[in-house]
Structure 1
Amino acid sequence: MPDIIQLLPDHIANQIAAGEVIQRPASAVKELLENAVDAGAAEIQLIIQDAGKQLLQVIDNGKGMSETDARMAFERHATSKIREIDDLFRIKTMGFRGEALASIAAVAQVELKTKRAEDTAGTYIEIENSVVKKQEPVAMATGTSIAMKNLFFNVPARRNFLKSNAAEMRHIVDEFIRVAMAYPDIFFSLSANGQQMFHLEKGTLKQRIVQILGNQYNAKLVTVQEHTDYMNIRGFIGKPETAKKTRGDQYFFVNNRFIKSAYLNHAVASAFQEMIAADSFPAYVLFIDLDPSQVDVNVHPTKQEIKFEDEKIVYAFVQSAVKHALAQFSITPTLDFDLDPGIQQLDAVSKPFTEQRKNEASSSSLYQTFTQKYAAHKIDPSHKSELKHWKDFYTADSQLTDERNKMTDERGPMTVNTGTDVQALSTSGYHPSTLPDQDFTQLHNTYIVAATNKGIILIHQQNAHERILFERYQQAMSGTAVATQRSLFPATLQVSPQDAVMLNEIIPDLHQLGYHVEPFGKNTFVIQGTPADVEQGNESFAIELLLEQIKHFSSDVKFSKREKVIRSLAQQHSVKAGRSLTQKEMKQLVDDLFQCRQPNVTALGNPTYTELKKEELEKLFGK
């Protein structure tokens, strides 16, 4: 019998490795940008065509490579950073395994130009399917330019698995931001299809954060700076008011390498406990510096998941540092020349801080949380904390604000209510499509009470309106578009580059739903019109909230992009709890609800109404 085990050919082995390293264009962006950083570049340009499927090019002014190194760089496991096994435990560079260029060359057409400062001419290499097609001298400036064309041209099945251009572009922008954020002393630029999306000048870390995340963070960042013999932490956290419903603006770096760590995310979130809503996520850009021997960065092909030697120490240190920064932010006095003179007359300011008051303050759990030794990692449960009263104060009054009535849903993120017994509602044997002619009663400005032949029904006005709008928008997507009311003074909306990519993707769907939005230059859009039945004046806020809600849905793969838009706008435009309705409005709401295909639940599974039969009412009174 002949032997049946044999070695894979190199070009097949390279394609298999490419499946681990180069999953999409963004994977190549990460590897090529990190190589440019390791080369000591002061300026790095990223050029994209067709979301990286047609062209992905990185140009840097780093130290370049010799002719021999340029050829060797495309061999598997060829690296300049490891000589012996101990080097694996002292890694301080971004790349080190020598797989990236070999993997890229296996699934794309690659052109490399590189030159060292001491060389008179550079080297040009053209590689296709791991085979060198051309090599010749070239005149160029010091540095390296590597272009990756026609990704997965020789693996059509892999190419078919790529997402839409907008989706792939979002991933590219994410990887670009993660590298650019870690190196504010390097100039970065990103151009896509001939249009520049990012132009990040050299500067401080705070300047880079504001450049990337937006000017709204300029006055809302708190410095985090702690040093110990074991590890250091530096960076910025957003003030509590910057917390969002999504994790978008959260960046952790260990030894300048971006990582994903739910464990450390929890450490930061726990430090914000009681300062932000439980369903919100704080913004932060934090850098942890510690001995490379205490970290294993080689546990995942993308190197975004790492292993700490002692996770508990790192967790406690991060939590303590963030709490300390928040404490300093809270107690440091600021000089405000525009302070209302009336504030000076308040008891808290005008009355002396007596010994009795001092003792009362120092005995509080909040004070002890920040002052007791070794207690920086401890936060009392919410039912014991004084901050709970502040939360209750705001949540109680926020239901009555005009802003809530018009636009905002303060109930928190949209979560599917899996506990609803939909079957019981829909098969109760009673379908109130025709209610007796009557006057409706509104209870607590939230519920509509109606009498039926068999008892009473209680309708939640917001849930009911959500179901009505959801089905109305579904029909608009497949039929006649919602009527648009043109704005006399169009609103201008400026968003982050990541959100600009997302907004461009959903503009056709927004047109069907009555929003007339047009691009207007770099990351700027003009809202020319809004749905005819929506009050004008808050259209910019409506689009911003829509983008935030779509990002909240991003982890739910069962929803298409169009479905996310419909669900978000249905929730956003629904009449909110706390708003008083006239008899005509209540009747219209009830009639529209029971003309829906599925009137008993919202699109998220929450009940729109519940029924109390006459027998159940009699049991309540012992009859």
Structure 2
Amino acid sequence: MTIHVLSDQLASQIAAGEVVERPSSVVKELVENAIDAGATAITIDVRGGGRELVQVADNGAGIAADEIETAFLRHATSKLTSADDLWAIRTLGFRGEALASIAAVSRLTVVSRAREATAGIRLVLDGGAVLARETIGAPAGTVIAVENLFYNVPARLKFLKSITTEKRLIDEFVTRYALAYPAIRFRLSHDGRVTFQTAGSGQTADVLLAAYGPDTARQLIELRPPEPAADPSTASGPAAVAVRGYVSDPALTYSARNHIQLFVNGRAIRDTRLTFAVVQAYHTLLPVGRFPLALLFIDMPPDEVDVNVHPTKIEVRFRDDGAVFGAVQRAVRAAILETAPARGLGGWPAMGQSAAGWGGFGAAADGRDLPHTQLDIPWQLRGPAPDDEGLDEAAPAAPTLPGAAETRLPLMRVIGQVGAAYIVAEGPEGLYLIDQHAAHERILYEQLLAQRRGQQVASQRLMAAATVYLSPSQAHLVEENLPLLASLGFEIEPFGPNAFRLRAVPAILGRADPAQALAAVVIDLENETAPLKSETEALVIKRVCKTAAVKAGQTLARPEMEALIAQLEACDVPHTCPHGRPTLIHLSATLLARQFGRT
């Protein structure tokens, strides 16, 4: 093979792959350019998840008529003049690659008028080549329409995710920057329907309400940076790092870290160390595997941070990363502890019960056990069906217990309850300790699966419809999975932008908070990566059963314990819960004799 220089067009398409990964990358670059141009209103219109159209309109400074073609050349920018400027970057964009990269893999139309100009310019490009240029009347600002993204790079096009996934990624980005720039009016629409908009009031709290809804917003704690002792532009070291924003009350947790959002000087970044600093600030306050919501803005001198690390500018390096880590950790921890008296820090459930009741204790706020009459456990026995095979394909194989059949439990006699969490029972081969939450979860799981197979999932209508507010990306998830949720007993209808009315829930949820149960299902869907519909369905069923199951910390009466054990004995896979945790531990008579020195 001979060595040769690539054509400009091919080189541009290759370079575009570093900057434009998917439709959300186009939205990111165009919105950042609009913010740098001083826009106070940004409108984003998307069709087909961004494959058909991404249009961003702003009222910023606009592009001068004699510079509009130059703007779409590689390495053309107005934000840098010398290499020294790289060490004090104050704008979101600076590399001069975004517009050229986007134009190289799409059909692009730009209409722009500089504020001092009397007329605007319309420029049409196809694959980076200029097709048309004309003078037209236009308002001050810029409108860029990107159509048929990746039409000339089919390899990239086929690797895009589903339309719903691309929509969700766009929603997440726009929401993130709306929170970072509350003084800018953002308006986002998908296929002609507005899904997110802000008023541009300058108040982050207003954007939080629009992005997360009132239920989540009221559980956030505000971080306020200390008053600066000197001019931030001349300060250095730890004192130059100011951290502000919002973090969640420890009662509000999620199963993944993706709700921790970080900004440095107004730029959205990813940083595993700073994410760890946020989690560490909640040390001993959250259960294992749960993470907070955090929206942190880190302000520091530009020369203390290097943003020229990655083409997408999502990664940065700090001159003193230890100082930034410490500032974040201290600010978050201080905010949590300052609000402890008002929020009852010492009274949180030991296992980290969240606001949605996910997997925590069911103890009352004053530490008393909840009366067993509040459990509302469905105690109807269900015998095994002869044709129920493969009932729990997702769960690991159940361990074989000594003296018991592979899939059946021996008859057991209830002795009592330990720690309001474990049932003590006697069997023919010794002692059994049953985890009441895991056991009840297995019972409900098999019952709901059996109803699902028979297309007869019992649904319970609510006396008063519950309203659930979600983020734009979560709202798309609900809309995508409405048929599945309906088949499992949920009756949901749209109720305004990113809001839904819940009129019925699966009957097994009993007295569980319906809105919190749906919110828990949505968060699990948000973190789900399995592409198969059957896996998604199993995930939802597991979450419903986990929410409905009796919790550790709830005292059970003897008839309730006996009924629970009888139902567990009737299960096809009684040894594990749907997530694979054991439901019981067997202590054989031989082991007990050995422990007491009898043998």
Q: Which bin holds the TM-score, normalised by the shorter protein?
A: 0.7 to 0.9
Which whole-Å deviations, capped at 9, do the CAs of 1:356-412 have from their partners, x for residues lacking one? xxxxxxxxxxxxxxxxxxxxxxxxxxxxxxx8898769977668236997599xxxx
CA distance in 2, matches of 1:165, 1:509: 18
* Aligned with residue 564 of structure 1, among 539, 550, 554: 539
Query: Are residue 515 (structure 1) and residue 525 (structure 2) matched?
Result: no
Map residues 85-104 of structure 1 onto 2, 5 A cutoff: 85-104=83-102
CA distance in 2, matches of 1:489, 1:266: 41
Letter paired with 1:431? A
CA distance in 2, matches of 1:283, 1:134: 48
Counterpart position of 2:313 = 303
Q: Is the 8 A contact 1:212 1:496 kept in 2?
A: yes
Query: Are residue 531 (structure 1) and residue 524 (structure 2) matched?
Result: no
Letter paired with 1:76? R
Of Structure 1 and Structure 2, the greater helix share is in 1
Map residues 307-318 of structure 1 onto 2, 5 A cutoff: 307-318=317-328
Give the match's secondary structure for 1:617. helix
Counterpart position of 2:203 = 204
Q: Is the 8 A contact 1:465 1:575 kept in 2?
A: yes
CA distance in 2, matches of 1:157, 1:133: 25
Counterpart position of 1:369 = none
Give the match's secondary structure for 2:501. strand
* Aligned with residue 166 of structure 1, among 158, 164, 186: 164
Query: Are residue 244 (structure 1) and residue 260 (structure 2) matched?
Result: no
Give the match's secondary structure for 2:124. strand
Segment of structure 1 superposing worse, 170-179 or 390-399: 390-399
Counterpart position of 1:214 = 213
Which whole-Å deviations, capped at 9, do the CAs of 1:249-276 have from their partners, x for residues lacking one? 4332211111122222333343444455
Change (3 A) 1:481 1:306: farther
Q: Is the 8 A contact 2:243 2:331 kept in 1?
A: no
Give the match's secondary structure for 1:533. helix
The aligned length equals 555
Counterpart position of 2:389 = none
CA distance in 2, matches of 1:570, 1:273: 29
Q: Is the 8 A contact 2:171 2:473 kept in 1?
A: yes
Counterpart position of 2:55 = 57
Q: Give the root-mean-square deviation of aligned CA atoms.
A: 3.5
Change (3 A) 1:17 1:470: farther
CA distance in 2, matches of 1:599, 1:322: 43
Counterpart position of 2:391 = none
CA distance in 1, matches of 2:346, 2:464: 43
Which whole-Å deviations, capped at 9, do the CAs of 1:437-489 have from their partners, x for residues lacking one? 66444423544445444334433232123233334445556652512233343
Map residues 83-482 of structure 1 onto 2, 5 A cutoff: 83-202=81-200, 203-216=202-215, 217=217, 220-226=220-226, 227=228, 229-230=235-236, 231-238=240-247, 240-241=249-250, 243-245=252-254, 246-247=256-257, 249-274=259-284, 277=287, 279-325=289-335, 400-401=369-370, 406=375, 425-426=399-400, 428=402, 430-431=404-405, 439-444=413-418, 445-474=420-449, 480-482=455-457
Which whole-Å deviations, capped at 9, do the CAs of 1:23-55 have from their partners, x for residues lacking one? 121111111100111111121111112221221
CA distance in 2, matches of 1:501, 1:236: 26
TM-score (norm 2): 0.82
Letter paired with 1:508? P
Change (3 A) 1:18 1:593: farther
Letter paired with 2:54? L
Which whole-Å deviations, capped at 9, do the CAs of 1:231-256 have from their partners, x for residues lacking one? 24142333635642244543322111
Q: Is the 8 A contact 1:506 1:561 kept in 2?
A: no
Give the match's secondary structure for 2:484. helix
CA distance in 1, matches of 2:538, 2:410: 36
Letter paired with 2:270? K
Segment of structure 1 superposing worse, 435-444 or 252-261: 435-444
CA distance in 2, matches of 1:506, 1:518: 12
Q: Is the 8 A contact 1:405 1:577 kept in 2?
A: no
Letter paired with 1:480? Q
Letter paired with 1:318? V
Letter paired with 1:529? A
How much does 1:162 deviate? 2.0
CA distance in 1, matches of 2:327, 2:569: 56
Change (3 A) 1:111 1:388: same
Letter paired with 2:9? H
Change (3 A) 1:462 1:59: same
How much does 1:196 deviate? 1.6
CA distance in 1, matches of 2:564, 2:450: 18
Which whole-Å deviations, capped at 9, do the CAs of 1:56-108 have from their partners, x for residues lacking one? 11000111113342222222222122222212112111111122122212222
Q: Is the 8 A contact 2:74 2:97 kept in 1?
A: yes
Change (3 A) 1:523 1:207: closer
Q: Is the 8 A contact 1:55 1:149 kept in 2?
A: yes
Give the match's secondary structure for 1:19. helix
Q: Is the 8 A contact 2:269 2:314 kept in 1?
A: yes
Higher relative contact order (CA 8 A, sep 6+): 2
CA distance in 1, matches of 2:458, 2:218: 39
Letter paired with 2:59? N
Counterpart position of 2:385 = none
Structure 1: which 5+ residue stretches go unaligned? 335-386, 409-420
CA distance in 2, matches of 1:100, 1:238: 33
What is the aligned-residue identity percentage? 36
Q: Is the 8 A contact 2:243 2:297 kept in 1?
A: yes
Q: Is the 8 A contact 1:45 1:60 kept in 2?
A: yes
Which whole-Å deviations, capped at 9, do the CAs of 1:535-581 have from their partners, x for residues lacking one? 25721221123233444x44789995334322222211223234455
Give the match's secondary structure for 2:79. coil
* Aligned with residue 543 of structure 1, among 507, 518, 521: 518
Letter paired with 1:469? L
Change (3 A) 1:301 1:274: same
Which whole-Å deviations, capped at 9, do the CAs of 1:478-522 have from their partners, x for residues lacking one? 652512233343323233323222222222221121111122222
CA distance in 2, matches of 1:576, 1:391: 12
CA distance in 1, matches of 2:351, 2:170: 43
Letter paired with 1:224? R
Segment of structure 1 superposing worse, 173-182 or 62-71: 62-71
Change (3 A) 1:40 1:571: same
Counterpart position of 1:41 = 39
CA distance in 2, matches of 1:501, 1:485: 25
How much does 1:207 deviate? 3.5
Letter paired with 2:245? F
Give the match's secondary structure for 1:23. coil
